[in-house]
Structure 1
Amino acid sequence: MSRMEDSPPQSKSWSIHTRREITSKYEILERVGSGAYSDVYKARRRSDSIIVALKEVHDYQSAFREIEALQTLQNCPNIVVLQEYFWSDDEDAVLVLEYLPTDLGAVIKAAKKEWEDGIGVGEVKRWMVQILQGVDACHRNCVVHRDLKPSNLLISDEGVLKIADFGQARILLAPGFAADDGHIQSHEQPQSFQETVSQPTDVVPVPGGQLVHERKAVNVEECDAEPDEIRVKHAPGDIDKDSVSHDGAASCLATCATSDIEDPSQYSCSYEAEDDVEDWNGSLTSCVGTRWFRAPELLYGSTNYGLEIDLWSVGCIFSELLTLEPLFPGSSDMDQLGKIFSVLGNISEEVWPGCGELPDYKIISFGKVEKPIGLESSMRSRSPDEILLVKKLLCFDPLSRATAMELLHDSYLNEEPLPVPLSDLRIPLKQGNQDEDLSVEWNDFKDFDSDSDFDDFGSSTFITTDNGFSIRFS
């Protein structure tokens, strides 16, 4: 049955319509987006008629992370504003966010399909500057977003770009912080649940089913460290159980060759189940971020990554902003790596010291790419300075990637033509689903939207082994 706005609630995802504490303050106008973990509604605040976005989050941990990150980043100009939120024992969290009508994906789509002259250099630079300012704010506050992509970069009517969707974000432990084993709490009790972050957080219930986080003392010097000085520490309370996607990166080990990637029906892979797929020892998960923007260390199963994974994503976004096409549109994790290697060449200890220590380095095998395409060919219509800017981000070695602050001072963004004023930016009307990734036309990349590596391979044979299982694709 199709869901209509005037229909009665049919599932928990529509419980927002029955919650008096919300509907008494907000008139729900329409649902504007839907994702795996949330539904987003356009609403009008009854007290002053201001339009807001109500984000109903169905995943407990995702809601907690988003609230924690947005509270940490409050007053940052290029981060979406969290105005208030509602949370009770038996209901989903509902976040009240500023309403932003469009996103960078819509800009790219409009430039590709509607604007004869594409996106001007001054416009591109203004979008880049705003993205970098938002990422710099995140990283200076020890927040790694983990899912940066054009559709998560929302835009106001005035042209202000703001990073949104922090459901996969984490606040990293800066050097010197020690984890407390007592921070793991039951998911049954939202009022007392805590996730280990850079400092303990008390969750205090207040009237109306809302929550307020009271922060204890923060080590400001540690959290204000330059982004490339901050590294992930494993915290016992840092559970990623509910955020793991089902694309095989964290739970499967695979061996394939790049020559096979373009025609997945012609090759076979052997998968073994790992012990402790859901790591309860505090490790980060490698299964985060939309595949096309996912850093290679994540594709190789790393759980010891840092802020640099966001910088790789920014490099992919910049390339798409410049060419209006996705740079690495992989149809599976293996195909994703294959597309990266076809452009940048293979990884090795020479270009990425320490890559041999990646969890899946010895398990994922690719044939040598003798003549990688190179970014110059992939971004054929762009200037050397623009290509160089992207190169500074798309480095295999995470420690070689330029930080957001370094790029804000890059000569490319500070020379003629300068970034245009916000008032000169062209803002398209948002069409369709607010959560839909409009950075590409999906008809051009059929079947690439699946998060499962298995879905792309056709029929398969499943065989149980002593160590796990194997799957052969025919």
Structure 2
Amino acid sequence: MEHPLPKSWSIHTRPEIIAKYEILERVGSGAYSDVYRARRLSDNLIVALKEVHDYQSAFREIDALQLLQNCPSIVVLHEYFWREDEDAVLVLEFLRTDLAAVISDAKKKEGGVRVGEVKRWMLQILSGVDACHRNMIVHRDLKPGNLLVSDDGVLKLADFGQARILMEPGFDGVNDEQQLPVEQNTGSQANETPLDFVPDAHSLPDQGFNKQVVEDTNREEYLRQLVELKAKRHAMDETDKEMNTIDGYSSCLATGTISDIDDDTHKSSYSYNAEEGGHDTNGALTSCVGTRWFRAPELLYGSTDYGLEIDLWSLGCIFSELLTLDPLFPGVSDIDQLGRIISVLGNLTEEVWPSCSKLPDYKTISFAKIENPTGLEACLPNRSADEISIVKRLVCYNPANRATAMELLNDKYFNEEPLPLPISELHVPLTKNDHDEDSPCGWNDYDDMGSDSDFGHFKVETTGSGFSMQFS
């Protein structure tokens, strides 16, 4: 259904845009962006025009998509418009639906998503995540709604408004205060040879824009570098290295900002649904990223010293949802999210993740001891041992133990019967669901994500450094 066009918005009066594109309808809207379906006048190509109202988000998305411009599993950035006195407008490949709609549609029919379909969807997702991680880009908001799907079943990662380019584990190589060129820039077309490079931190120019990747590497070299990164992160965990903090705060929980901006996880895939609030400036990272149901536990405990592994946790949650058609951890608040994770995986202790006690909020928030956690097997009834194993290799406390995207791409699960279906045989919904309509079942059961006080019973005690919350 077409939405009326708000003629007062700048995108409709900017001559450089309307000279090249006919704006057809608004297809998405969020706190930080509005998205329009448009037609390119030169060749009638249908595109998405994403008008981004937040500087950091626009910078990050352009920066990441430029670096990933030749990757077939990443949404194409055709060009962008950005003047000093205007919002950025990104011209993106238009993909009509997303994986959230695929899951929602599968819930309405008997049989769900066939194993061959699950494998093909997952291979496409893994390919996109691998491309990001090869280029040291952490997406930070992987979820079904940000995995766009074309009419012919091609899946691509989108919405890089929260993405960061990491030069070292836990540290960002891009200064958020950098200025982008104000002239428009044309990106590459799709279906070119994918990038197969890892950036050299010492070879990149100071500007985070238009980086040229300078080091070619094969699969073995990539795996070697990932092992080194994991080892370095483990070594850092074993030291008393002071954690980076944001504006004097350690996390969303500590500041009381429960990050409910993106509680509606069904918003348009093209919309920027950040929960970040712009606190991670000057190169530091923030824990207030991602969508709650797919947020790694280190973020929920306030870590600002994290790496690519937070995407791998999200990947495990997505894989689980493809298998069961229900979210793995549908928390109604950040505390409830932690509680749901702990009830399944058990308490977070030094035994399962050495040095986890150094997480900023680890000593502030404690849960009663879970004697008999339910385990991931109970969350994945009637699924194969291989499927459960893959989820376990991703949804685990210690980030260093999470399987990389490349490791999973080579997993035997994808080479055994039933084999992944050809992309052309994937079921793609005829229409993209309006996520605030239809049945109240599924994700809409959790639309009312209240404050942390909604979670169970808790006791607050004052301490020398503030307060402690005990949950039962």
TM-score between the two structures when normalised by the length of structure 1:
0.77
CA contact (8 A) 2:251 2:360 kept: no
2:292 is equivalent to residue 291 of structure 1: yes
- Residue aligned with 1:33, SS: strand
Three-state SS of the structure 2 residue aligned to 1:292 is helix
Distance in structure 2 (CA, Å) of the matches to 1:457 and 1:370: 20
The question of 1:376 aligning with 2:367 is answered no
Per the alignment, do residues 349 and 316 of structure 1 end up closer, same or farther by CA in structure 2, a change over 3 Å counting?
Answer: same
SS, match of residue 284 in structure 2:
coil
Question: Could you tell me whether the CA contact under 8 Å between 2:33 and 2:52 is conserved in 1?
Answer: yes
Question: Partners of 1:153 and 1:470 in 2: how far apart?
Answer: 38
Taking the TM superposition and a 5 Å limit, the aligned residue runs for 1:119-134 are 119-134=113-128
Are 2:78 and 1:73 aligned?
Answer: no
Residue 384 of structure 1 deviates from its aligned partner by: 1.5
Q: Take 1:410 and 1:37, find their aligned partners in 2: how far apart are those partners?
A: 38
Asked if 1:155 corresponds to 2:149, the answer is yes
Q: Does the 8 Å contact 1:341/1:369 carry over to 2?
A: yes
- 1:250·1:286 contact (CA, 8 Å) conserved in 2? no
Deviation at 1:230, TM superposition (A): 3.6
**CA 1:186 to 1:134, structure 2 compared with 1: closer, same or farther past 3 Å?**
closer
| Aligned mates of 1:336, 1:300 — CA distance in 2 | 11
Alpha-carbon deviation of 1:467? 7.8
Give percent identity, aligned residues only: 64
**Pairing 1:200–2:208 present:** no
Does residue 1:397 correspond to 2:398, yes or no? yes
Letter in 2 for 1:103: D
Q: Pick which of 363-372 and 439-448 moved more.
A: 439-448
Give, in angstroms, the shift of residue 413 of structure 1: 1.1
Match of 2:97 among 92, 95, 102: 102
Deviation per CA, 1:13-35: give whole Å up to 9, x if none: x3211111111111111111112
> SS at the partner of 1:173?
strand
d(CA) in 2 for partners of 1:214, 1:296: 33
Match of 1:82 in 2: 77
Indicate the SS of the match to 1:343. Answer: helix
Once residues 468 and 370 of structure 1 are traced to their aligned partners in structure 2, the CA distance between those partners, rounded to angstroms, is 29
- Does the CA contact (< 8 Å) of 1:247 and 1:453 recur in 2? no
Q: Secondary structure at the match of 1:249?
A: helix
Pick closer, same or farther for the CA change 1:470–1:168 going to 2, 3 Å. Answer: same
Q: Classify 1:228/1:86 alpha carbon distance in 2 versus 1 (closer, same or farther; 3 Å).
A: farther
- Cα 1:82–1:7, aligned 2, differ >3 Å: closer, same or farther? closer
Q: CA deviation at 1:37?
A: 1.3
How far did 1:432 drift? 4.5
Q: Secondary structure of the residue that 2:28 maps to in structure 1?
A: strand
User: RMSD value over aligned CA atoms?
Assistant: 3.9
Asked if residue 249 in structure 1 is aligned to residue 248 in structure 2, the reply is no
Q: Is the 8 A contact 1:326 1:440 kept in 2?
A: no
Q: 1:56 to 1:371 in 2, by over 3 A?
A: same
SS of equivalent to 1:389: helix
Amino acid at match of 1:129: L
Query: Which of 28, 32, 35 is residue 30 of structure 2 equivalent to?
Result: 35
Cα distance in 1 between the residues matched to 2:69 and 2:402 = 27
Gaps of at least 5 residues in structure 2 are 184-199, 237-243, 259-277, 457-462
Structure 1 residues 417-442: Cα deviation after superposition (integer angstroms, max 9, x where no partner): 11000111000033355999x99734
User: In 2, Cα distance between the equivalents of 1:178 and 1:326?
Assistant: 30
Q: Distance in 2 between matches of 1:43 and 1:61?
A: 24
Q: How far apart in 2 are the matches of 1:5 and 1:253? A: 34
Structure 1 residues 331 and 80, CA gap change in structure 2 (3 angstroms): same
Question: 2:106, 2:374 → 1: CA distance?
Answer: 25
Q: What displacement does 1:444 show?
A: 1.9
Superposed, which structure 2 residues align to 1:43-442 within 5 Å? Answer: 43-113=38-108, 115-174=109-168, 185=177, 191=182, 198=201, 199-202=204-207, 213-215=209-211, 218=214, 226-230=225-229, 248-249=252-253, 251-252=255-256, 278=279, 282-432=283-433, 441-442=442-443
The count of residues paired between Structure 1 and Structure 2 equals 413
Report the AA paired with residue 200 of structure 1. Answer: P
Is the Cα–Cα contact under 8 Å of residues 201 and 214 in structure 1 kept in the other structure?
A: no
* Cα distance, 1:397–1:18 mapped onto 2, change above 3 Å: same
Look up the equivalent residue of 2:32 and give its one-letter code.
Y
Q: Does the CA-based 8 Å contact 2:5-2:25 persist in structure 1?
A: no
CA contact (8 A) 1:395 1:401 kept: yes
Contact 1:41 1:53 (C-alpha < 8 Å) held by counterparts: yes
Q: Is the 8 A contact 1:286 1:298 kept in 2?
A: yes
Amino acid at match of 1:294: R
Moved over 6 A (4+): 177-180, 231-234, 238-241, 465-471
Change over 3 Å in CA distance of 1:434–1:39 after alignment to 2? farther
Structure 2 residue identity aligned to 1:91: E
Q: How many Å separate the matches in 2 of 1:351 and 1:280? A: 32
- Distance of aligned partners of 1:278 and 1:37 in 2 relative to their CA distance in 1, 3 Å threshold: closer
Q: For residues 226 and 24 of structure 2, what CA distance do their matches in structure 1 show?
A: 41
Return the alpha-carbon distance in structure 2 between the equivalents of residues 91 and 319 of structure 1. Answer: 41
Q: Cα–Cα, structure 1 residues 35 and 446, in superposed 2: closer, same or farther, change >3 Å?
A: closer
User: Kindly tell me: are residues 65 and 336 of structure 1, through their superposed partners in 2, closer, same or farther at Cα, counting changes over 3 Å?
Assistant: same
Q: Partner letter of residue 79 of structure 1?
A: I
Taking the aligned partners of 2:301 and 2:212, their CA distance within structure 1 comes to 36
Query: 2:38 and 2:396 mapped to 1: Cα distance?
Result: 42
CA deviation after TM superposition for structure 1 residue 91, in Å: 0.8
Amino acid at match of 1:325: D
Partner of 2:255: helix, strand, or coil? coil
In structure 2, how many angstroms separate the alpha carbons of the residues matched to 1:116 and 1:179?
A: 48
Deviations 1:232-290 (A, max 9, x none): 999xxx9988xx9x993362499xxxxxxxxxxxxxxxxxxxxxx94656321001000
Q: C-alpha distance in 1, partners of 2:172/2:323?
A: 42
